[in-house]
Amino acid sequence: MPDRLWRFLTIGPAVILFLGLTVLPMINLAVLSFHDIDWAQGLSSWTFTGVKHYVELRSDALFGDSIRNTLIFAMMAVTIQMVIGFALAVLTSSVVHGRLFYRTVFLLPILVPGIIIGAIWKLMFSFDFGILNTIVAAIGMTPQDWLGDANYALASIIVVDIWHWTPFCFLLLLASLETLPQDVYEAAAIDGASNWQSLRLITIPLMLPAIAVTFVFRLILAFKVFDEVFLLTGGGPGSSTEVVSFTIYRRFFTEDQPGYGSAMSIATFAFIALLIIVVTAATQRKGARP
């Protein structure tokens, strides 16, 4: 049997199945975005609306707020997670004794279920008896309504996400760090390079591909944030913590607008895809720069 035919028979069905499971839902979502759906006596009635839903997106103030909040949330949370994750990876890799203990401790937050995270942090952010306001009052400052004040609500959600997902960045960056060739560091040490010089001139340049992949992957996940917002603020106060996933959830499940929600989903998908392409191109260009 020819190699090409054998390769197709062994890999082809899996590829076709994967493409089908990936493409078909997107096609269904796109078709749905051009229709209004009404329900009567348990039956659905589809009405073709063309690009009406996409036109309405331009004047949807809530959708605009959710895009802005999601961008702020994703860029701030992921950037801080990358910095802390990289620092923890560098520090942990240099530890000789107790390395397994430190790695286990740093990974604990990512193992906690979302519903428990919501309960823990809601209690910590509580205005009346939360530990944060207890500390704030103890040092002579004024307690704040962290989740009920529009000035602090989004920042509070960002803090929770940083605590939850920094271990993800730490784990990927640590795995990459431990695969770096040690002979380069030995040569640098012989030449008299300091630890800071080795980090800046060897570690970071060699890890740029892993840093870029981790950043992009985490950025994609950050744009899908839902649990923290749903459990802690419900998008409020006002629209200060309204994010794209939560707005789409509103349209689909609380306002019964699946057509409009589908258009919102397609627009969000296109926006995220464009953003990821731009970020990936920028990181590759930086990595290729001498």
> Three-state DSSP class for 284?
helix
Over the stretch 49-99, which tens digit does the pLDDT of each residue have? 999 999 999 999 999 999 999 999 999 999 999 999 999 999 888 877 777
Percentage with pLDDT > 70 across the chain: 92
Question: Can you give the C-alpha Rg of the chain in angstroms?
Answer: 24
User: What are the backbone dihedrals phi and psi of residue 39, each rounded to the nearest 5 degrees, phi first?
Assistant: -115, 130
Over the stretch 202-222, which tens digit does the pLDDT of each residue have? 999 999 889 988 998 999 899
Q: Which fold has domain 52-288?
A: MetI-like fold (1.10.3720)
pTM over 0.85: yes
2 pLDDT tier (thresholds 50, 70, 90): low
Question: Residue 6: its pLDDT value, please?
Answer: 58
d(CA 133, CA 130): 6
Per the CB < 8 A criterion, the answer to whether 70 and 79 are in contact is no
Nearest 5°: CA angle at 80, between 176 and 235?
Answer: 125
35-44 mean pLDDT: 81
Instruction: Report the run of H or E that residue 45 belongs to, with start and end.
Output: strand 43-48
Question: Residue 290: its pLDDT value, please?
Answer: 45
Domain boundaries, the chain: 52-288
105-112 mean pLDDT: 89
d(CA 144, CA 136): 9
- Tokens at residue 75, please? 């860029």
Per the CB < 8 A criterion, the answer to whether 119 and 98 are in contact is no
CB atoms closer than 10 angstroms to residue 22: 9
Question: Residue 272: its pLDDT value, please?
Answer: 86
- Tokens at residue 252, please? 């689909």
